[in-house]
Structure 1
């Protein structure tokens, strides 16, 4: 019995989660921390050390306390956070901060390793077009206009006493007109609000993958307000004794990870839905620190094609957000095409951001011929901007009208204008400053239009309701550019507008079974959007405006019709059955009412 009891004890010890020879690695509950923890775990395993992963363990406090108790042996920490956790003020000098935390944590039996090489500080970011429109490059540039702007922040940043929102605005001497606060769990929503135009500026971490993905501008912290946060391994001293090779393994990562690299790795987890482990393994192989024959398998991104000039920040942001919701776990990118619907027809891209005029080709007698595409959701409105250059003061003075390249939205709108004005010659080219006037079809507030107005003026387009223009060209509708839409614009400008939509290939009726059911398939070599995808995009756009009646719409967006009334003349079987029921009721009534027999 003694031998059996000893054997059972040995089996029990062998089945424990944390045998004596196992390195326990923790980590915080966000992607970057998980990636760094996986890198350390993979390097240890590659060196023959058994590893127990406690990645995504929780907050800074949870990880630090677990490290002190010995529940974990190491996790990735930031020197700025290390100072704050011991009640010390954070620093803007990374070297000084590292030396300080090393001296403070040594008495606790904790050792700071060499830094990985990147800073992940707080920062402020804006859409590129919005920053250019306002002339903002640094945080100080916001001071004079902050009262007219909305900033989006996370609640933890709002409450931080030393390097949070209140101290930041006090240091820079500014006050924002509106502050939108989200919870820590909802932090990714800050990017959604920025894309939707609900906020002008948002608080970010400087290694967020969305900064590069969305081509955002990271504002320069020109007063060096934000403390430095540089990541490094934080290890128990007894773990370094137990595993003597551990320090050398982690030192291999010293200086190997810069901010751009971490943005890319974070994006692969957050946007491409890859696991931190496979992202970390691929990165280590790329750095030559482990042998890995298989590369990282990343799904091809979803490309949204768009016409030149037409893609303003708010509209492209709304389109990006909607398509990302419809394709979860896939990277979504924008790509300029002179004729985006032609790119769609080739099968190279599944979806396009276009205007209503791009749905039609001018054929015989200058009448539009419908192209085989359909709208799946309304994004916004594009306005016809005709900018007189040089001595051109009136629309009637135009002889040469410069548009974008052939096939673009601006060029197609120019073709329609020229069809009703025989004296206008179109000049399709990218340089818009070479003719009597330039035509830009874009949302109000276009930075391209604003640049052209430095040496030009907006011209009114009037008389469109005369003749049969409204019938011949329903893709262009009368509109007005409000006063003050551009610097120096003192009056409202009469013009035309065209609805902006997300579009996909039209579904043709065939005998095949396609993504929208039997009898529906896409044109050859073109992938049709499924009903589920169409509805997901439409719902994500959250637009109260319906698709322009001049445009063909996706079948999934067709309103459900009420059920037709029942047929007046039912089938013969139903008629006979009804007659039998009436006879049965009549017989029962007779039985009840007949005289009682005596």
Structure 2
């Protein structure tokens, strides 16, 4: 009897467990909120609580009203947003914000649980080149030039009552030329617009991975405006009465997620194409909060080698975006290194972003093209800058000692060709680094007359060197490029820098420029047999497939073709027109076609033989029934005149 009673009790408990009301977990419609919502849902499920998901419910107002109405039980929210929803003045201290929210939220029957461990503040973002060129460090620095700039914001930011668009513009006295507003689901597209120079400033989150990926500059908010945005689960008293175990179940998430961790999770969704739930599961397994993903290996990014000084430049960002677009689902990242092609040759990276000069190497016979690499696409142009002191030579060709980057660097190659073809002796002074600061120091120390730097236009170190040392100037860098020197460096082209478009210049300067290209390993000229025979493994770095090259080419959109002096990937060559195929390649089809034409010819001939009235035409010996005039037939009752 006791056994039957125990069995019934167990069945009753099981039935009650199956009919428990699930915890309704929601989130707003941003990537990071979706990830946090999934982390909460998976954590609850791991502790035996049934969950109903409403991930991506809407914006802050939608989620807040759904919680108050009892339609959802918990969702991730930010303390600063909660202040804005209450129309309270902003506060930058997280502790003070929590204290201010306690009483009014208690009156509303709402409660913040323990915070996740990070803040996600609004932050003004711009391109690094623009920030360096216009000396933008703080939001207040935008005021004098705001009329020339375009601002991009999300719709939710534009509609925020206190810490949104209108308040931001009024607080800092900004009047932008244009304000672009995009929907919340397209908020990440603002970064692409910023990189493509369709906008100049945007409002992002401090946890957005694109800020680091694209080398963008953030501006310091120099007056109190944006409150502290501490993230935490927000729930209600009604939800806690239905599900009293929620606070304890979510306790392992308290303080477990810092800004760097969240930034990496968002990157996995945006770059590798993983779902927020998959990313959340992996993160919880790594934090030992919930199982179901501990064995997932870390994502190894596909790396593009690039000079560290080029991070944040337009060519670097264009290359990064094109490769990510061409290879969805892959983690693609820039890998800063002082020798990009060496990293490519060693297999440390899959591609490199370099100036055209890097595709050549110096030999005793002169500059020759490096056949071990090939250009995949053009992402911009690099400039050959020639620095000199005020009392120094007025042009590059008049230098006696030229400071360059390290031996083997692009600037050292160009200077080597200059020395080889100069009318007077030219000595080279290679420096340990390739930037403007290194060659500027060599000039200041009297170790060189002129310093050469190959950099993207308006690169930060070039602009800073010109501004930091008033005695340093740019001189003519193109006059020497004539005759044999032009033939030795065919990838160069003449250009002019003007003070209206290049910060730090006092006058127009003639320079040389070259393409900046995405570069990959080239296939060997001939594949030979190794000592081990035809089964030997080829350990050389393999070139990109034609499909990948064409995908990158499409992602780059309208752009110049790779220069004729560079080795280009074969997939970029124009495809020859296809030879016309036979109309009837099969013999049986040909015979059938011939039969059809023969039948049509016979039918046409038979139709032609028939007379106007449908009667067959008479032959020469046939008797005619027509009258003398050839009209109607003669009547049979008319008497015929006998022949004599």
Q: Is the pair's TM-score, using the shorter chain for normalization, greater than 0.5?
A: yes
Q: Do residues 174 (structure 1) and 181 (structure 2) align?
A: no
2:419 aligns with: 418
Aligned ranges 1:454-469 → 2 under 5 Å: 454=469, 455-464=471-480, 466-469=482-485
Change (3 A) 1:582 1:144: closer
Distance in 2, Cα, partners of 1:66 & 1:389: 67
1:54 aligns with: 54
Deviations 1:92-141 (A, max 9, x none): 44334333433333344433222223222222012334323322222122
Q: Which secondary structure does the structure 1 equivalent of 2:193 belong to?
A: helix
Deviations 1:378-436 (A, max 9, x none): 11111111111474223344222111123322222222222222622222221322222
Q: Which secondary structure does the structure 1 equivalent of 2:365 belong to?
A: helix
Distance in 2, Cα, partners of 1:255 & 1:481: 52
Q: 1:497 Cα shift? A: 1.4
Kept in 1: contact 2:87–2:161 (CA 8 A) = no
Change (3 A) 1:20 1:405: same
Deviations 1:457-489 (A, max 9, x none): 212134446323333321222222234454553
1:497 aligns with: 513
Picking from 528, 544, 550, the partner of 2:543 is 528
Q: Which secondary structure does the structure 2 equivalent of 1:185 belong to?
A: helix
Q: 1:500 Cα shift? A: 1.0
2:633 aligns with: none
Deviations 1:435-467 (A, max 9, x none): 222101122212222233324221213444632
Q: Do residues 442 (structure 1) and 455 (structure 2) align?
A: yes
Kept in 2: contact 1:312–1:446 (CA 8 A) = no
Change (3 A) 1:37 1:468: same
Distance in 1, Cα, partners of 2:23 & 2:155: 35
Q: 1:325 Cα shift? A: 0.9
Distance in 2, Cα, partners of 1:330 & 1:175: 40
Kept in 2: contact 1:42–1:281 (CA 8 A) = yes
Distance in 1, Cα, partners of 2:553 & 2:56: 35
Q: Which secondary structure does the structure 2 equivalent of 1:171 belong to?
A: helix
2:640 aligns with: none
Q: Which secondary structure does the structure 2 equivalent of 1:132 belong to?
A: helix
Aligned ranges 1:253-272 → 2 under 5 Å: 253-272=253-272
Distance in 2, Cα, partners of 1:465 & 1:27: 62
1:202 aligns with: 202
Aligned ranges 1:135-214 → 2 under 5 Å: 135-214=135-214
Q: Which secondary structure does the structure 2 equivalent of 1:260 belong to?
A: helix
Q: Give the TM-score normalised by structure 2.
A: 0.79
Aligned ranges 1:36-435 → 2 under 5 Å: 36-86=36-86, 88=88, 91-287=91-287, 289=289, 294=294, 296-307=296-307, 309=309, 313-389=313-389, 391-394=391-394, 395-421=396-422, 423-429=425-431, 430=433, 431-432=438-439, 433-434=441-442, 435=448
Change (3 A) 1:356 1:280: same
Change (3 A) 1:473 1:108: closer
Distance in 2, Cα, partners of 1:310 & 1:82: 40
Q: 1:219 Cα shift? A: 1.7
Distance in 2, Cα, partners of 1:288 & 1:579: 78
Kept in 2: contact 1:307–1:408 (CA 8 A) = no
Change (3 A) 1:495 1:312: farther
Change (3 A) 1:273 1:582: closer
Distance in 1, Cα, partners of 2:495 & 2:525: 37
1:557 aligns with: 572
2:26 aligns with: 26
Q: 1:566 Cα shift? A: 8.8
Change (3 A) 1:65 1:181: closer
Aligned length: 576
Deviations 1:343-362 (A, max 9, x none): 22332211111122221223
Deviations 1:532-568 (A, max 9, x none): 322222222223322212122223222233455799x
Q: Which secondary structure does the structure 1 equivalent of 2:451 belong to?
A: strand
Q: Do residues 548 (structure 1) and 563 (structure 2) align?
A: yes
Which one is further off, 202-211 or 417-426?
417-426
Deviations 1:40-92 (A, max 9, x none): 33333333333333333333344334434444322222233334445555544
Q: Which secondary structure does the structure 2 equivalent of 1:144 belong to?
A: helix
Distance in 2, Cα, partners of 1:48 & 1:309: 52
Q: Unmatched 5+ residue regions in structure 2?
A: 1-10, 443-447, 529-536, 610-616, 623-644
| Greater radius of gyration (CA) | 2
Q: Which secondary structure does the structure 1 equivalent of 2:253 belong to?
A: coil
Distance in 2, Cα, partners of 1:222 & 1:168: 12
Change (3 A) 1:36 1:447: closer
Deviations 1:141-169 (A, max 9, x none): 22223223232222332333322222211
Distance in 2, Cα, partners of 1:237 & 1:356: 65
Kept in 2: contact 1:470–1:477 (CA 8 A) = no
Distance in 2, Cα, partners of 1:576 & 1:255: 82
Distance in 2, Cα, partners of 1:472 & 1:242: 80
1:519 aligns with: none
Change (3 A) 1:487 1:267: closer
Q: Give the TM-score normalised by structure 1.
A: 0.84
